Structure 1
Amino acid sequence: MRVIEPNFEIMDKIKGEDILRKIELCGRVCYKSENSITSESARKFVKNIIKSGHESVLEHEKITVRIICDRGVTHEIVRHRIASYSQESTRYCNYSKDKFDGELTFIKPCFWDEDDENYRLWKEAMKQVEQTYMKLILCGASAQEARSVLPNSLKTEIVVTMNLREWRHFFRLRTSDKAHPQMREIAKPILNEFSRLIPVVFDDIE
Structure 2
Amino acid sequence: MRVIEPSYEILHFPESHEMLRLLELAGRVCYKSEDRISQGSAEEFIGRIVARGHESVIEHANASVRFICDRGVTHELVRHRLAAYSQESTRYANYAKEKFGNEITVIRPFFWEEDDRRYVLWREAMEAAEKAYLGLIEAGAKAQEARSVLPNSLKTEIVMTANLREWRHVFRLRCDTASHPQMRQSMLPVLADFHRRLPVLFSDLWERFGGGSAEIPA
TM class, shorter-length: over 0.9
Q: Provide the rounded CA distance (Å) in 1 between the counterparts of 2:176 and 2:199.
A: 21
Alignment partner, residue 57 of structure 1: 57
Q: Provide the rounded CA distance (Å) in 1 between the counterparts of 2:54 and 2:173.
A: 19
After TM superposition, give the deviation of residue 7 of structure 1 in Å. 0.2
Deviation above 4 Å: which 4+ runs of structure 1? none
**Helix, strand or coil at the partner of 1:141:** coil
Q: Report whether the alignment pairs 1:99 with 2:99.
A: yes
Alignment partner, residue 159 of structure 1: 159
Q: TM-score, normalised by structure 2?
A: 0.93
After TM superposition, give the deviation of residue 12 of structure 1 in Å. 1.3
Q: Among the aligned pairs, what percent are the same residue?
A: 60
After TM superposition, give the deviation of residue 13 of structure 1 in Å. 4.9
One-letter amino acid of the structure 2 residue matched with residue 198 of structure 1: L
Alignment partner, residue 204 of structure 1: 204
**Helix, strand or coil at the partner of 2:24:** helix
CA contact (8 A) 1:17 1:199 kept: no
Alignment partner, residue 27 of structure 2: 27
For the aligned residue pairs, the C-alpha RMSD in angstroms reads: 0.9
One-letter amino acid of the structure 1 residue matched with residue 120 of structure 2: R
**Helix, strand or coil at the partner of 2:203:** coil
Structure 2: give runs of 5+ residues left out of the alignment. 210-218
**Helix, strand or coil at the partner of 1:67:** strand
Q: Provide the rounded CA distance (Å) in 1 between the counterparts of 2:167 and 2:152.
A: 24
Structure of higher RCO (CA pairs closer than 8 Å, 6+ residues apart):
1
Alignment partner, residue 180 of structure 2: 180
Which residues in structure 2 correspond to 1:39-188 (within 5 Å)?
A: 39-188=39-188
CA contact (8 A) 1:19 1:198 kept: no
One-letter amino acid of the structure 1 residue matched with residue 112 of structure 2: W
Q: Provide the rounded CA distance (Å) in 1 between the counterparts of 2:171 and 2:13.
A: 20
Q: Report whether the alignment pairs 1:16 with 2:16.
A: yes
Q: Provide the rounded CA distance (Å) in 2 between the counterparts of 1:145 and 1:155.
A: 18
One-letter amino acid of the structure 2 residue matched with residue 156 of structure 1: T
Alignment partner, residue 36 of structure 2: 36
Q: Report whether the alignment pairs 1:189 with 2:175.
A: no
Moved more, 158-167 or 26-35: 26-35
CA contact (8 A) 1:16 1:199 kept: no
Q: How many residues align?
A: 206
CA contact (8 A) 1:95 1:104 kept: yes
Q: TM-score, normalised by structure 1?
A: 0.98
**Helix, strand or coil at the partner of 1:9:** strand
One-letter amino acid of the structure 2 residue matched with residue 174 of structure 1: R
Q: Provide the rounded CA distance (Å) in 1 between the counterparts of 2:117 and 2:108.
A: 14
Q: Provide the rounded CA distance (Å) in 1 between the counterparts of 2:13 and 2:4.
A: 26
